Amino acid sequence: MIGYLLIICIIYILYFVVNKIVRRLIQERKHLSDETLNAFYKGKIKRDGEEYGSIIAHLGSCENCQNRLHQFDPNNLIEDHLIE
């Protein structure tokens, strides 16, 4: 009986962990909004927050959003915003 309950608990924990990972991956694949890119460019996103990490991860793999961010200031390199 205890073994059965332990297996059920492990399955629930795995479900929630996998669900969170999948949701984060889906979020990273969506293009960032102009408002988000603008806030990031202006430094209004907290560097230690989860949103900042998601933006960085997305910009690391999405050339479209990199180009859109670059349009805010063509003379400024995107790397200047990514270096901590």
Condensed to tens digits (0 to 9), the pLDDT of residues 45-75 reads 998 888 898 888 888 888 899 889 888 877 7
Cβ within 8 Å of residue 35, ≥6 positions away: none
Q: Which H helix or E strand runs over 37?
A: helix 34-41
Question: Quick check: is 10 in a domain?
Answer: no
Count of domains observed in the chain: 1
Region 39-45: mean pLDDT is: 90
- Distances, alpha carbon 24 to alpha carbons 4, 8, 28, 36, 55, in Å: 31, 25, 6, 16, 11
Question: Quick check: is 8 in a domain?
Answer: no
Question: Quick check: is 36 in a domain?
Answer: yes
Question: Quick check: is 68 in a domain?
Answer: yes
pLDDT at 80 over 80: no
The predicted pLDDT at position 82 comes to 56
The domain in which residue 79 lies consists of: 25-84
What is the pTM assigned to this prediction?
0.58
Question: Quick check: is 45 in a domain?
Answer: yes
Question: Quick check: is 20 in a domain?
Answer: no
Tokens standing for residue 19: 């669900």
